[in-house]
Amino acid sequence: MAVTHSVAARNAATQAVINLIGASGNLVFRITGSTVISPSAAAATLPLSSPTAFGAPSSGTSTANAITSDTNAAGNASAVAFATIETSGGTVVIQCAVAASGSDINMTGGLTVASGDTVSCSSLTYTALSA
Amino acid sequence: MSALTGQIGEVQMTIQITRKETGKVEEFKLIGFLDEEKLKELQNGSNTFSSSAECSNPSRN
């Protein structure tokens, strides 16, 4: 049996998590093997807006404010496997797996970032509880 | 015994990568689930919450 939350509860949950990011933070794309405790190598690091990384939640979803591009990405031969949203001090607050083979729309070779590439993020939303 | 399951969280983003070597811009729409097991279910088609792809690249399709 699935649990359903009120909109107020979903907003509160999302707000509680984005509060952990603090006044500044980063969106980081990482290769396979990443954990919240021990993040893997970063292929690209994009600074979130400071001092307000995310807007107030609506219907349980919060949208990130403007995100600065990484104009000289570290890159990695391995495909990006995780995205993390972290504090400015590098503490991972949110981690999600973002790419893999076998999906409905398969990305041949996966999403790779080469050294020196520019990585931008034009939209980012976070939902703590989907219902 | 019934299994109680909360709804999973989600991160959605649209990213653009400008390749240093070619200048080509590639755009990706990524959907990442916070629960990796749910993401694996999604990848093998057994997920019951959503049938959408977790990762797509319009420039490659």
pLDDT, mean of residues A15-40: 91
When mean pLDDT is compared over A115-129, B1-15, B44-58, the highest value belongs to A115-129
pLDDT class for A1, splitting at 50, 70, 90? low
Chain B hits for A108, CB-CB cut-off 8 Å, are: 60
Contact A30, A41 (CB under 8 A): yes
Distance, first Cα to last Cα, chain A: 13
Give A99-110 pLDDT, tens digit per residue: 544 443 345 557
How many domains does chain A contain in total? Answer: 1
String of DSSP letters for A42-61: EEEEEEPPSS-SBPPPBTTE
Residue A111 resides in a domain: yes
Q: How confident is the model at residue A18 (pLDDT cuts 50, 70, 90)?
A: very high
Enclosing domain of residue A40: 7-127
In the predicted structure, residue B5 carries a pLDDT above the cut 90: no
In a domain, A2, yes or no: no
pLDDT of residue A35: 83
> Which three-class secondary structure state does DSSP give residue A70?
strand
pLDDT digits (tens, 9 = 90+) for A60-72: 999 999 999 999 9
B11-57 tens-digit pLDDT: 889 999 999 999 999 988 887 776 656 556 655 554 443 333 344 44
What pTM does this model have?
0.81
ipTM of this predicted complex?
0.86
HSE-CB for A87 with a 13 A CA cutoff? 11
**Is residue A96, in this structure, part of any structural domain at all?**
yes
Give the gyration radius of chain B's Cα atoms.
Answer: 15
- Is the residue at A1 inside a domain? no
Residues 1-60 of B with CB under 8 A from A: 2-21, 28, 30-34, 36, 39, 42-45, 49, 51-57, 60
B34 vs A43, which has greater pLDDT? Answer: A43
- Chain B residues in contact with A94 by the CB 8 A cut-off are 11, 34
In terms of Cα–Cα distance, which of A79, A87, A88 is closest to A40? A79
**DSSP type of residue A116:** T
pLDDT tens track for A71-103: 999 999 998 888 999 999 999 999 888 754 444
Residue from B1, B5, B10, B13 whose CB has the most chain A CBs within 10 Å, to mutate: B13
Average model confidence (pLDDT) across chain A: 88
Q: Quick check: is A114 in a domain?
A: yes
Q: Which residues of A touch B51 (CB under 8 A)?
A: 104
Domain contains A15: yes
Partner B, chain A 52-91, Cβ-Cβ below 8 Å: 82-83, 85
